[in-house]
């Protein structure tokens, strides 16, 4: 008999799907078991890590923060990777998610797509991507690529790509980038996966004024999630100084609501009134960037007000995703 899972409000939701037969879906989609939770927080947790990888698995890559954003918060986006060595001429695209949450896919023209939002992992996201990429380089066109056995000796993504090459992230409104040719050629499973993914892709825009900052609308609210590469403690201190001074907003009606942590980097989050839009916050975010840069250089001990502000920030870890 299937077990009961807690629903989104804590109540028990009876499921009629056997745990061993849960369909493969994207990590951010609702779990097919009917629990009401996202797959990553439900049956997706079953894939345990084989080992503990680096705290910052993508450190050293110029686009580290954007890779983290694509893996954790952006629904639909693509970015070209630049390989080195004998494979420098291969066309490789990093994508947020692939059909059926495949780790990799070789298209009919030989180009490679690597999925960041996957259901399995070794515990080191960089080594996982490198493993899938290595397999994809010799795989037949038109076939998905699975994750192999990864350990501490496996190569990292940094070993296979030009780490200094800019990562030009392109955010999409849908998942049409999955389609290689006519959509009539897609299997029923792929079509269903495409429909599910598109249904849960909330509007997202990458800001042009600062690196790795993403506006999004979720329901009746808008947010800015800005992933930063600086040391977490220094970012916390800088934000505390600005908050204590009442100088941590990005425009009228906006407010700083906390931050989240992923893959060794932090992301402050601001909330703004519905209807603000991404374009309206480009200039205020540029000003905020200058304020943060200045605050990051201050080494004086925090004042009492700043210490209280910092304590409040550390207790407001945002789970908005």
- Domain residues of the chain, as ranges? 64-191, 204-314
- How is residue 27 written in tokens? 């990590």
Q: Report the C-alpha gap between 166 and 223 in whole angstroms.
A: 26
Q: What value does the mean pLDDT of the chain take?
A: 85
* pLDDT digit string, tens, across residues 137-190: 999 998 899 999 898 899 999 999 999 999 999 999 888 887 765 455 567 776
Asked whether residue 7 carries a pLDDT value surpassing 60, the answer given is no
Strands annotated E in the chain: 4-6, 12-14, 77-81, 92-95, 104-106, 112-115, 144-145, 170-171, 204-206, 213-218, 221-226, 255-262, 265-272
* pLDDT digit string, tens, across residues 189-245: 767 776 776 667 789 999 999 999 999 999 899 999 999 999 999 999 999 999 999
Whether the CA torsion 134, 140, 145, 151 is positive or negative: it is negative
pLDDT confidence band for 14 (50 / 70 / 90): very low
Give the pLDDT confidence score for residue 54 in this predicted structure. Answer: 75
In the block, tokens 């609501």 appear at: 257
Q: Hey, how many other C-beta atoms are within 10 angstroms of the C-beta on 167? A: 20
* pLDDT digit string, tens, across residues 41-56: 776 655 434 455 678 9
Domain covering 204-314 in this structure, CATH number = 3.30.200
- 63, 161 Cβ separation under 8 angstroms: no
* pLDDT digit string, tens, across residues 104-149: 999 989 999 999 999 878 889 999 999 999 999 999 998 899 999 8
- 57, 264 Cβ separation under 8 angstroms: yes
Q: Report the C-alpha gap between 121 and 103 in whole angstroms.
A: 9
């Amino acid at each position: 008999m299937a077990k009961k899972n807690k629903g989104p409000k804590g109540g028990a939701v009876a499921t009629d799907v056997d745990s061993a037969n849960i369909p493969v879906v994207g990590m951010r989609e609702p779990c097919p078991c009917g629990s009401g939770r996202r797959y990553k927080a439900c049956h997706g947790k079953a894939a345990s890590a084989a080992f503990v990888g680096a705290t910052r698995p993508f450190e050293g890559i110029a686009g580290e923060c954007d890779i983290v954003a694509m893996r954790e918060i952006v629904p639909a986006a693509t970015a070209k990777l630049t390989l080195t060595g004998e494979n420098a001429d291969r066309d490789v695209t990093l994508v947020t998610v692939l059909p059926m949450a495949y780790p990799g896919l070789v298209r009919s023209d030989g180009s490679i797509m690597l999925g960041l939002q996957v259901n399995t992992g070794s515990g080191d996201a960089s080594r996982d991507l490198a493993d899938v990429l290595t397999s994809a380089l010799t795989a037949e066109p038109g076939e998905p690529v699975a994750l192999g056995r990864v350990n501490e000796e496996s190569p990292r993504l940094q070993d296979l790509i030009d780490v200094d090459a800019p990562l030009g992230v392109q955010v999409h409104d849908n998942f049409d980038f999955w389609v290689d040719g006519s959509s009539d050629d897609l299997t029923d499973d792929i079509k269903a996966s495409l429909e599910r993914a598109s249904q849960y892709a909330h509007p997202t825009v990458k800001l042009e004024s600062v690196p790795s900052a993403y506006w999004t609308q979720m329901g009746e609210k808008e947010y800015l999630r800005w992933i930063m590469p600086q040391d977490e403690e220094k970012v916390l201190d800088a934000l505390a100084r600005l908050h204590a001074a009442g100088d941590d907003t990005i425009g009228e009606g906006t407010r700083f609501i906390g931050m989240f942590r992923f893959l060794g980097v932090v992301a402050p989050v601001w909330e703004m009134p519905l209807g603000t839009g991404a374009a309206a916050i480009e200039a205020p975010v540029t000003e905020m960037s200058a304020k943060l840069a200045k605050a990051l250089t201050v080494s004086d001990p925090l004042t009492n007000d700043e210490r209280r502000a910092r304590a409040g920030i550390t207790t407001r870890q945002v789970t908005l995703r």
